[in-house]
Amino acid sequence: MSRALRILQIVPSISLVYGGPSQMVLGFSQGLAAQGAEVTILTTDANGDVDQDPLDVPLNCAIAQDGYQIYYFRCAPFRRYKFSWGLLTWLALNAHEFDIAHIHALFSPVSSLAAAIARAQKLPYVLRPLGTLDPADLQKKRHLKQLYAALLERPNLAGAAALHFTSDQEAKVSERFGVVTRDWVMPLGVVAGDEVSAEAIASVRQRFGVSSDRPLILFMSRIDPKKGLDLLLPALEQIHARGSAFHLVLAGANPQDAHYESQIRAQVKASPLADCTTFTGFVSGEAKLALLQAADLFVLPSYYENFGIAVAEAMAAGVPVVISDQVHIWAGIQDSRSGWVVPCAVPALTDAIHEALHHPDDRRQRGANAQAYAKQHFSWEAIARQMLEAYEQVAHRQPG
């Protein structure tokens, strides 16, 4: 019997403040370990770009967790860019001990240089762009990214064993800078968690000021311009004006752009939504699970979203979703009738939410469809098994 595959997962940070796409590396690694792989995560203690303290974790040593191990390294000297000389030095010294590396994020210096080191060390690597190759994302700091791509990312793409996309649409729209690549399309997984009690649901509603007789509309994501809050808030104002009762819970924050978050809070406070909206900040653990299961409808009208991990989490909890057609898993949601898919426009979003609120039986059926779809397509066990088979095709097994 051949020995277990030795896998490196390299990600700039797994802090909650950077959202689900980074944190998914934990569930992914647990899934791979459960399939028998030896998994090591390399990451930094980055915990926000400005005023936040770094993560309070041991540095430069292996921390055992859920069948895999994590190495955290000091984020220095460029904290804003989640950079770490320590991580790169460790990789250069130890790359030969591994069979393959899975590197998460492009246009991040630590990820870009990790790919260059892997290439120099003849270690096969897979790149997961996290939506950074989406034309909409590339427009931000366009000239700087063009230079960065020419110097670093184009050679990294050319040398990669594969690119890991999380949806067909993400792969279809992604820029390759003229490089021909091998593409793997595999979704992200979610952990549904145990069903919480009716008492826990009642408690979370009470905690966030949601009356038991009002549908709870949940937005659970970073408070960020790309998430479509400029569409959602006017849509809900129109629905409120029609006399429909609901309570909006905005579960998220944005330590990286506190000014925008403050703008959204001020906008809500000055609007008719003030008395039926609760800001919770980031939620996690049991509170997050209870809030998801308490929700009657999940909304995310993003302008672009390479996957939408929060959408998948809501579906796994049995919550129907209203999303834009720029959330790249929209086709599966539409085909399975797991919710409503709309263009990035206020009238269409207004109509979809209004329909969901006023047809509770249909809403519950779509929630059941969503849960069944998530169980079939977003299981870490199935995804890890599929990924291991793909790794085996490109990995260089070392004697051992």
Interval 217-261: pLDDT, tens:
999 999 999 999 999 999 999 999 999 999 999 999 888 788 999
pLDDT of residue 81: 75
Which residue, 46, 28, 20, is CA-closest to 305? 20
pLDDT of residue 87: 97
Domains of the chain: 6-189+379-394 (3.40.50.2000), 198-377 (3.40.50.2000)
Interval 95-130: pLDDT, tens:
999 999 999 999 999 999 999 999 999 999 999 998
pLDDT greater than 70 at residue 69: yes
Comparing 303 with 48, the larger pLDDT belongs to 303
Comparing 304 with 196, the larger pLDDT belongs to 304
pLDDT of residue 64: 97
Which residue, 242, 307, 237, 311, is CA-closest to 275? 237
Question: If pLDDT is split at 50, 70 and 90, which confidence band does 193 have?
Answer: low
| Side chain identity at residue 310, one-letter code | A
pLDDT of residue 1: 43
Query: Can you tell me the mean pLDDT for 54-77?
Result: 94
Of the ranges 29-43, 77-91, 234-248, which one carries the lowest mean pLDDT score?
Answer: 77-91
pLDDT greater than 80 at residue 20: no
pLDDT of residue 373: 95
Which residue, 292, 307, 301, 304, is CA-closest to 371? 292
Helix, strand, or coil (residue 136): helix
Q: Percent of the chain, pLDDT > 90? A: 72
Interval 307-348: pLDDT, tens:
888 999 999 999 999 999 999 999 999 999 999 999 999 999
pLDDT of residue 82: 86
pLDDT greater than 90 at residue 16: no
Query: Can you tell me the mean pLDDT for 291-317?
Result: 94
pLDDT of residue 138: 84
DSSP letters for 150-191: IIIIHHHHHH-SEEEESSHHHHHH---TT----EEE------
DSSP label at residue 223: -
Q: Percent of the chain, pLDDT > 70? A: 96
Query: Can you tell me the mean pLDDT for 66-90?
Result: 89
Label residues 179-190 b or e (16+ Cβ within 10 Å = b). Answer: bebeebebbbbb
pLDDT of residue 190: 86
Measuring CA to CA, how many Å separate 335 from each of 187, 313, 332, 340? 16, 18, 5, 10
pLDDT greater than 60 at residue 131: yes
